[in-house]
Each structure stands twice: as structure tokens, then as C-alpha cells.
Amino acid sequence: MTDHPHNDEPGTTRLRTLLVANRGEIARRVFATARSMGLRCVAVHSDADAAAPFVAEADIAVHLPSGYLDSDAIVAAARRVGADAVHPGYGFLAENAMFAQKVMDAGLTWVGPAPGVIETMGDKIAAKKAAEAAGVPILASVEDPSEAAAVGFPLLVKAAAGGGGKGMRLVESAEDLGEAVAAAQREAAGAFGDDRVFLERYIRRSRHIEIQVLGDSHGNVIHLGERECSIQRRHQKIVEEAPSVRLDDDLRLAMGGAAVALAQSIGYESAGTVEFLLDDESGEFFFLEVNTRLQVEHPVTEEITGLDLVREQLLVAAGRTLTLDQREVTTTGHAIEVRLYAEDAANGFLPATGTVEAWQPAGEPVVRWDSGIEAGSTVGVSYDPMLAKVIAHGPTRMETIGRLRLALERLHLGGLITNRDYLVAVLDSPEFAAGDTTTDFIERVRPVAHLAAETVHEAAVAGALWLQGLNRANDDIWGFAPSNWRNAGLPAERVTFVDPSTEAPSTIAYTADRNGRFTLDTGEVVELVEWATGRVELVVDGIRRSHRITDAPGRLHVQTAGTTVTLDLVPRFTLPGSEAPTGGLTAPMPGSVVDVRCAVGDRVTAGQVLVVLEAMKMEHHINAPFDGTVTEVPINVGQQLDRGTALMTIVEDVGREDEAARS
């Protein structure tokens, strides 16, 4: 098969205008390819996304009052603006067979597999049966929780519909099964409108391997090799790479063949992914699921194959044959992708919200940034908190790791909590370098993002002297004079910052001489080489560094060699504030209250689940920090909370055991 123009192949559909029924970085990603193919791009957007970058980049944008799950409104928007085709992206309605059918019934081209295939593969139970029928090995599973013994522990409770880690729970023993099933059912119902779950065998030392497949309407199916996506938190991937270091030629051939056999058996068209679980010790592999859409991690396959998977999707949707056959698929080098999230890795990966006050990827090293944000973007509670995907490609795995790590370190990013430093810690770990990346990586390796005290000090010095330059630049009276030019000695200038991640103060005291140098109270001598609105260049004890700086309300974001340090400026004069009550529990992230499991007067024990919150369609349990008695519960089920909202107050038991012993 060779590539050729549209008009050379009879029976194809000419596409002119494409509507992308999605948002954020995937909408921008699809737009980029569509524009390169000469297609006009249509965006749809919710109220929350009205000012989002993808909306501004589209040729036409249509408001969706009810959001991205309103299939009728999306189809109506496509017809209203004269779109020829609809691309669903991933998430939302991307794997909704009913939506695909509505698009086709409206006379529009659906960019994806047939509705019947989506429906079958979207049901994880039906998909397993289809895989078994195609001769693909599957994991032992049962649909009835009362038959858990047939699977054995540990096991996974999994939603029959959907994916992305939603509706999934790891269960170690029979005592925990009931709670896990109930939580998974609630989560699955909220995310997919389907509360069915099943139980599946869990393999501790395993790898998550997926095979990218492409099929067309002429019966051709090929695969583009594998991606390894084993590093996950909350059963959601955060690092993906291709190829996998674990697969040899024989295993790669077997897994690729199994994926193609399954795809052919179900008549698969468009881009899709067949996911497998590989037992790291035995080398056995088992079918997990088929994703009937573009995957978040598709760029790593694009980087090593040189193919544009969105282009392939659009060509197949137009009725074209695949642009290459299996013999023509080649790969070059290694690619790694990380998902940059607004989340607190040190606090159970809880999602974070806020405004992106600083966002500027470095020009080098050259990596691929698939981003849904820009400086000024707001990250709220309505959608997944992924900010961007960062993808590096290199001739070797080690070189690729180095490029990606350095790109993350040099990214100027501030305004909200992110997992950037955590991702750097993952890439820096000896286990990752060795390819020891099984699905238990995070729990086993426990990477730690550590902000060194010397890094904070470096940023504070740069911030203090940048503020000094700013004050001089804004001084219309004495700004012409050399810094600290006086005819008498003055006490040192002092600037105090607080690192918001640790709440640790950092005071920089300095005096200036008449030669443009500053002496810190630590004895360090600093020369101000250059000052500009967004940067400062200093020589500190003979070492020269340049720092990008973003001035935000009440804080500075200072770029160092390894990360961006956020420093809250402490005003010279502060008013006393109120203190939080002792024993007060607060919401660790914004979300809604799903369940309150205690009342005023109840005695609780350390670790007991007190409140269940939902954020980004995932449930989060709030546990009692100690034994005590509940004295206040100011929240109700269904209430929407901001981060830091008081949940309840608990009076800790003090001396209760001693009193009991004396009685």
C-alpha cells in the first residue's frame, strides 16, 4: 500500500470541515493535523472553557450549554456549521457507540471504528469473550462478587464500562471486598452511567503493554509495535515509552500478532489499541481491553514510526486504504512521554486547581509539547487535571531520558501544584534507568520530589535582587543613582519569602556597595550582571546564573537550574489572622461530598474513613488522623467544597488509655 491523493481512489469521501468533540490538548492536537490536511476546524466548548486556547485556535467555535456529554447538541453544532466529520478525541463520548451512531445518522463521517465494535469493546466483559474467541489469552475473572474465591486474592474490581482507572479497586483480602465493590460501582456509575463491575486476577509483578493497531474499511489491519505504560498512579498512566525494554523479538511478534488477530476478528477500522498485561517473571501475556479511540500516549508511537496517527484516522474515515502494510512499518530510536498534571504527588496525587501564572517551555532540548494550557489558563474541578504531555525522542533510551528530564527541569511553570518535580524524580531513579518499570513501580520505588534548601536559597537571592531592580526601575526620583548610593551607612535591606510547599520562611539580607555588588548576611558576594522585566542574571561567589522570573500577585516564580521555585512575598507589616481550630480536618482538594460517615458526638479511631469526596470523577477517602470524638460536622452530602474547606472538628483522646488503666 502506498500513499496517494484523495482523487486517485474511488469511493472515498472528501472532507473539508472537521468538528472535534473534545477539549484541551487533544483538541489542539487534532486541529494541527487537520489544518495540515487542508481541513477547517470546529471547536465545541463548555462555559468553563470559553477562554481556553483550543477555542481561540479553531476556525469556528460553538458553545455547548450542557457540556461535552451532550451528544445531540454536538451533532446539531456539526450540522449547523456545515462540518463533514466528527473526531471524538479521547474521553467524554469517544467510546460511546450511541454517539457514533448519531453522527453517522446525521450524514456525517465518524472518525473512529463502527458503533457495533465500540459497543462490544466498551463492555470489558464482552471484550474478554471476543478476545478468547480470537485465541488471545485472558485473565481469570468472575462477574459475581460472591464468586471471588474462584479468582483468588489479590484481585482487581473493574468497571465493565469505561477505563482510565475509574471504577477500579485493588483488593487484598475478602474483608475489603464489599467496600471496594461499592466504591467502584459508585465511581463507575458517575463516570460512565453503568455501575456493572467484575473481578479479575491481579498480577503483582506485571507490565502494562499495549499494541497500536490500524485498520481500514477494506479489511486491512496492521500493528505499529508496542508501548509500555506500566508506571501508574490510581491505575492511571503517567509515563509511557516505546519500545518496551522487556520485549524481545519473539514476544513482540507474538503480542503484535495477537492484537492484529483480535482486531481482524471484530472488523476493526481506524486507530485503536489492544492492551495486554505481561507477567514480568514468566513472560506470559494476557488480554486486558481494546481502546476504540486514539490513546493519550499515541505520540510515542508517532515519534518512533514517523507516522501521524490522526492523519491515518482521517484517511481511513474518508474511505482510504492504509498508507502502508506491515512490512513497511519501521521504528527508529526510543520515545518517552510523561503526563504533566495539576496534582499533589506528595499528598496521594490529589488533584489541584488554580491559575497557571507562569508557563514557558525552554527552547532546548527540543521535545514535543502537547499542551492544553498557556499562561493565564485556569484549572478547575470540572475536568481531568492534565496540563500537557511532554514527549522526547532520541537515538537511545538513555539519551531520551536525559532530554526529557532536562526539558522538564527547564520548564518555567508556576501558579499551582504540579507533578513536574515528581516526574523528574521518576526519570532520575536507578530503577527507571534500568528498565525496572513494572506496574508496582510507584509503590515499590517511591520516588520523592525533593526541593533542596540550597535551591530555595538560590531562588530567594535571585528574587530579592530582582525586586531590588524592580523598585529602582519604578523609582522616578532616585532611580538614576547607583544602588545604595548614600553619604552615610544604612542597615541591610531585608526581604522575606515563604516557600508555600513547606511554609518555611527564607530571609535575604543584603547591603550594596558603589560598584554594583551586594554582600549577603551569609557572606556571599553577588554581582548583578543584568536586570530585565522577566529575568535577572547574577554572579554569586564566582558562579554565574540566569533566572527567568514571573511576577504574580504576592509571589514570584523563579527559575533555577532544576525547577521553578515559587516564593510568596511576606509583607513587612501583617495583621494578625485567625487560627484554624485544633483537630480541624479540611478538604485536601476541591470536590463534592459523596458520603459523611460520622456525626457530632461519634467516637472515631485513627484511619477510619470519615468523609468521601469526589473530584475529577474519582473518589477520595478522608480518614481520621487520630482517635477522638467528633464535635463539629459543618458539611452535607452533595455540597461542593473548595480546597481548605472545614470538614469537621475532632477532639483528640488524650490520656484515655491511662485513665482506663487506673480505673
pLDDT at 343: 95
Q: Where in the chain is the domain with CATH 3.30.700?
A: 453-569
Peptide bond into 553 cis (omega under 30): no
CA–CA separation, 35 and 18 (whole Å): 9
pLDDT for the residue numbered 129: 93
Residue 582 has pLDDT above 60, yes or no: no
| Of 440 and 3, more confident | 440
Give the C-alpha separation, 158 to 221, whole Å.
29
Residue 503: per-residue pLDDT: 82
pLDDT, tens digit, for every residue of 41-85? Answer: 999 999 999 999 999 999 999 999 999 999 999 999 999 999 999
Residues 317-338, buried b or exposed e (16+ Cβ, 10 A)? bbbbbbbbeeeebebeebbbbb
User: What confidence tier does 8 reach under pLDDT thresholds 50, 70, 90?
Assistant: low
Q: How far is CA 436 from CA 225, 254, 587, in A?
A: 20, 22, 36
CATH of 584-662, one of 2.40.50.100, 3.40.50.150, 3.40.50.300, 2.40.50.140: 2.40.50.100
Mean pLDDT of 2-31: 81
Higher pLDDT, 393 or 475: 393
pLDDT of residue 190: 80
Model pLDDT for residues 224-282, shown as the tens digit of each residue: 999 999 999 988 999 999 999 999 999 999 999 999 999 999 999 999 999 999 999 99
CA angle at 251 for the pair 248 and 253, rounded to the nearest 5°: 105
Type of residue at 399: E
What pLDDT score does 580 carry?
Answer: 46
244-281 burial, b for 16+ CB within 10 Å, e for fewer?
Answer: bebbeeebbeebbebbbebbeebebbbbbbbbbbbebe
Whether the per-residue pLDDT at 579 is higher than 80: the answer is no
Per-residue pLDDT band for 27 (boundaries 50, 70, 90) equals very high
Indicate the pLDDT class of residue 2, thresholds 50, 70 and 90.
very low
The span from the CA of 24 to the CA of 30, in Å, is: 10
* Residues 285, 277: Cα–Cα separation, whole Å: 5
**CA 233 to centroid of chain Cα atoms:** 10
Highest mean pLDDT among 319-328, 605-614, 646-655: 319-328
Determine the Cα–Cα distance for residues 36 and 45; give it in Å rounded to an integer.
Answer: 23
Q: Which residues contact 656 (CB under 8 A, 6 or more apart)?
A: 627
Listed range (439-443, 527-531, 575-579, 658-662) with the worst mean pLDDT: 658-662
> Any idea which of 53-67, 511-525, 612-626 has the lowest mean pLDDT?
612-626
Domain 206-445 architecture: 2-Layer Sandwich (3.30)
Cα end-to-end span (Å), the chain: 87
What per-residue confidence (pLDDT) applies to 17? 98
User: Could you say which of 3.40.1350, 3.40.50, 3.30.700, 1.20.1250 is the CATH number of the domain covering 453-569?
Assistant: 3.30.700
Q: What is the DSSP string of 231-280?
A: EEETTEEEEEEES-SS--HHHHHHHHHHHHHHHHHTT--EEEEEEEEEET
Above 50 in pLDDT, residue 661? Answer: no
Query: CATH 3.30.470.20 in the chain, residues?
Result: 206-445
Dump pLDDT digits (tens) for 347-365: 899 899 999 999 999 999 9
Percent of the chain whose predicted confidence (pLDDT) is above 70 = 92
Q: What is the mean pLDDT of residues 457-471?
A: 95
- CATH 3.40.50.20 positions along the chain are 6-111
Question: CATH 2.40.50.100 spans which residues of the chain?
Answer: 584-662
Q: Give the CA distances from residue 540 to residues 9, 471, 517, 543, 560, in Å, rounded to whole numbers and listed in that order.
A: 67, 21, 10, 5, 13
Predicted local confidence at residue 9, as pLDDT? 66
Residues 250, 251, 254, 257, CA torsion sign: negative
- Residue 247 is predicted with a pLDDT of 97
Gap between the Cα atoms of 58 and 43, Å rounded = 6
Q: What percent of the chain has pLDDT over 90?
A: 76
On the question of pLDDT at 183 being above 70, the answer is yes
At 103, is the secondary structure helix, strand, or coil? helix
Candidate from 439-443, 484-488, 611-615 with smallest mean pLDDT: 484-488
Q: Per-residue pLDDT averaged across 501-516, rounded? A: 86
CATH for 140-201, options being 3.30.1490.20, 3.20.20.70, 3.40.630.40, 3.30.70.260: 3.30.1490.20
Rounded-to-integer distance, Cα 56 and Cα 453, Å? 41
DSSP string, 573-624: S----PPPPTTEEE-SSSEEEEEE---TT-EE-TT-EEEEEEETTEEEEEE-
Residue among 70, 25, 26 at smallest CA distance from 47? 70
CATH C-level class of 6-111: alpha beta
Residues across the chain = 663
Per-residue pLDDT tens over the stretch 81-124: 999 999 999 999 999 999 999 999 999 999 999 999 999 999 98
Name the phi and psi angles at 269, rounded to 5. -125, 150
Region 591-616 average pLDDT? 87
- For 277-332, how does the pLDDT look when each residue is reduced to its tens digit (9 = 90+)? 999 999 999 999 999 999 999 999 999 999 999 999 999 999 999 999 999 999 99
Mean pLDDT of the chain: 90
pLDDT over 60 at 560, yes or no: yes
Question: pLDDT at residue 581 above 70?
Answer: no
